[in-house]
Amino acid sequence: MAWHQITVTTNENTAPTLADFFDQLGAVSVTYMDAEDEPVYEPAIGETKIWSNTQVIALYELDTDISGIKTAVFAQFKADELQDWLEEYIDDQEWERAWMEFYKPMKFADRLWVCPTDQEQREAGTVCLTLDPGLAFGTGTHPTTALCLEWLASHDLTDKVVIDYGCGSGILAVAAVLLDAKIAHAVDIDPQAITSTDSNALKNGVADKIISYLPEQFTPLQADVVLANILAKPLIDMAQDICALVAPNGSLVLSGILAEQAQSVIDAYQPYIAFEPLVQQEDWIRLNGTKLLPVCPE
C-alpha cells in the first residue's frame, strides 16, 4: 500500500496546532522531526519536545484530496509559518525490519548478549536477551542503556530483587532476570512502556519474574538493586523517592545523565549514596553506588 505524505516546516509554537489541524483533516498519522539537527537533552516528564524549527509530517490515504488539504492549511495558517511544503508518495515498508539492518547483536561484560530476533547468540557462559525495536525506548544501542547493561552484566544478581524505574522497553528488567535476579519490578509513566515490557518479558521466557506498573499502581518497596535510566532533571527531582527504594547496602544505578549534569545529580544523592567513580560513554555518564546505612543515635 502507498500513501500521501505531506512535510512542512514550522516554528515550535505553531507545530502542535498544525499537527492537530492535520489530524482534524483526516491524517492517518502525524509526527515531528527536527528540521535543523538541534539536540534534545532534557524534556520535562510527560513533555513532547518541539524543536525551534520543526518538520510536521502528515500521512494520508491515497484517495485523499491533497490539494484540498493544502488549501485548508494555508487558509488556517499564515504563509510565513509554513515553509518548504512537500508532497510525496511513499510505499509501505516494514519499518522495524528496515531499521534492524543497523541493529546487530551486542555483548556486555562477556556475559550478556542483546540480539534482534533470528540473530540470537548461543555462547557458553552467556545469556541472550532477544529484543526488537518496538513501542518504547530501549534496545541497548544508546549509551545510557548500554551503560546500565554493562553494570548488570558485571555484577552478581543471584536472587536479588531489582527495580527498573523508568523501564521503557523493559530491557534492564529482562536482563536482570536473565542474569539470575529473583524478581524485577518495572515502573514507567508511559502505558506503551508497560506493554513493551510485558511483551519482551514473555518473549524472553521471564514473564513470571517481572511485574510491570504505572506509577499509581506501584506500592514502594525496597530492592537490592534499583536502576533509573531517565534524565537528569527527574532524577534530581525524585532523589529522595528513588533512594527510599534502595535497601541499606543496596546498589543504585543512575543513567540518562550528560557529563556536564553529573555533579548536580551527585549532589542530590550524596546524602544517601556512596558513589563510585562515574563511567562515561560518549557524552553520557553512569553513576552507581551503595546506599549508606542509617546512622544510629548514640
Q: How confident is the model at residue 45 (pLDDT cuts 50, 70, 90)?
A: very low
Q: What percent of the chain has pLDDT over 70?
A: 85
Domains contained in the chain, CATH given: 2-92 (3.30.70.120), 137-291 (3.40.50.150)
Pick from 162, 98, 106: nearest CA to 129: 106
- Picking from 106-120, 159-173, 223-237, which range would have the lowest pLDDT averaged per residue? 106-120
Q: Which residue type does 21 have?
A: F
46-57, pLDDT tens digit by residue?
Answer: 444 445 678 888
For 177: left if phi > 0, alpha if psi spans -120 to 50, otherwise beta; the answer is alpha
Q: Determine the straight-line distance between the first and last CA of the chain, rounded to whole angstroms.
A: 75
- Please give the mean pLDDT across all residues of the chain: 85
More confident residue, 289 or 106: 289
pTM recorded for the entire structure: 0.68
Assign 3-class secondary structure to the chain: CEEEEEEEEEECCCHHHHHHHHHHCCCCEEEEEECCCCCCCCCCCCCCCCCCEEEEEEEEECCCCHHHHHHHHHHHCCHHHCEEEEEEEEECCCHHHHHHHHCCCEEECCCEEEECCCCCCCCCCCEEEECCCCCCCCCCCCHHHHHHHHHHHCCCCCCCEEEEECCCCCHHHHHHHHCCCCEEEEECCCHHHHHHHHHHHHHCCCHHHEEEECHHHCCCCCEEEEEEECCHHHHHHCHHHHHHCEEEEEEEEEEEEEHHHHHHHHHHHCCCEEECCCEEECCEEEEEEEECCCCCCC
Give the bridge partners for 130, in sequence order: 115
121-153, pLDDT tens digit by residue?
Answer: 888 999 999 987 654 455 566 788 999 999 999
What local confidence, expressed as pLDDT, does residue 128 receive?
95
